[in-house]
Amino acid sequence: MLKDKNILIGITGGISCYKILELCSRLKKKEANLKIVMTEAATKFVTPLSFETMGKCEVYTDLFSGTHSKVHHVELGKWADVFLIAPLSANTMAKITYGIADNFLTSTYLAYDKDLIVAPSMNTNMLNNPATQKNISILKQRGVRFIESESGMLACNTVGDGRLREPIDIVDYLEYYFTKKDLVGKNIVITAGPTVSKIDYVRYITNHSSGKMGYNIALSARNRGANVTLITGPVHPFDINGIDIINISSNDDLKNAIDSKFDDCDALIMAAAPIDYKIENYVDRKIKKDGNNLELKLIESDDILRYFGLKKKNQKIIGFAAETDDLIANATKKLNSKKADYIVANNLKTEDAGFDVDTNIASIISKDGVKNYPKMLKSELSDVILDLVGD
């Protein structure tokens, strides 16, 4: 999503400047194009050379650089798809609020006419000072987008608000910003990960599902503007902000959680891998070894996908088929028996298409036939799947 995006980063004075080195690294790995503007104060904390190295880009500090044919603080604004100021100090915040253009960064801001994103960082008292709070209010009224600071240990050895958000959160915000919002108003329920069936008080059976597919779909759906409910088994591949998350354990938990959201949803995407068999008789204590083998009786679990396939009205239901043999035949059978609209099928024995990997090789089966896809990241496949919701 950030590939080939032109991101202008403004860096102001503060100890949290060091985090922007990591931010540059993460953005370059996403194949974004960077240019950086630093205030003089920022250069006292981290050298321009460090940012040139990590960002693989030009770093500007001198307002009087350039030529009569190329005024840098004007040209940078034309080049940028977005201007991000991180960290934003209280001083620079005040300057951009009142149009003071006494350095390269603030002059660039005044010449810039697109979206501005800021990530404030400062001492708690400075943040909560009425003057700063008024500046924040004014900037928000103008449409400036804030990546709000968080609470934590600050450089002044106190704990409070004003800590710069982590680079991974800033990248997440930028990906959300650049994603087309084509699913606004859609209520999408997504399931992820395995379920478990308890044997006794300390043991259980489960499967190898990592939850990565479901989590990637939830993240993509959020970025595309949907209202997302993620129902997840006991896995946590990564954090997702801005969605409702319901943690479950058993098949019954999963079914009940979906049922609580199903009537009001537009789509159910069943990326979870509920266990097909459960323990018949759970023992509410630890079973002790006694020199004999332990025999467990497994009974077939309720068919959750079919339950909602029969219950649906206008909802779209997308199921998954993780197979080891006869992929298309088994997936087609599942499509028909479960009353699903689509089945996303993959062969677990195929390299880079099984559990706990970041890629998949999928076929999507519907009443219209089969469409095969090449190997792609699960984040990319997520958008292919979500396109089905918008059809």
For 11, the 3-state DSSP assignment is strand
Question: Is position 17 annotated as part of the catalytic site?
Answer: no
User: Max CA-CA distance within the chain?
Assistant: 90
Check residue 67 and report its DSSP letter.
B
What's the CA gap between 222 and 178, in Å, rounded? 12
What's the CA gap between 265 and 255, in Å, rounded? 15
What's the CA gap between 264 and 160, in Å, rounded? 39
Rg, the chain, Cα only: 26
Q: Which amino acid is at 272?
A: A
For 161, the 3-state DSSP assignment is strand
What's the CA gap between 270 and 287, in Å, rounded? 34
- Of the candidates 17, 24, 57, 156, the residue annotated as catalytic is 156
Give Cβ neighbours of residue 269 (< 8 Å, ≥ 6 apart): 188, 189, 190, 191, 214, 217, 318, 385, 389
Q: Which amino acid is at 296?
A: L
Find the Cα–Cα–Cα–Cα dihedral 176, 182, 187, 190, rounded to 10°: -60
What's the CA gap between 183 and 42, in Å, rounded? 40
Structure tokens at 80: 């940028």
CA distances from 317 to 172, 193, 245, 259 (A): 28, 17, 19, 13
Contact assessment for residue 129 and residue 171, using Cβ atoms and an 8 Å cutoff: no
| Tally of CB atoms within 10 A around 186 | 19
DSSP string, 177-220: HHS----TT-EEEEEESB--EESSSS-EE-----SHHHHHHHHH
Active site residues: 156
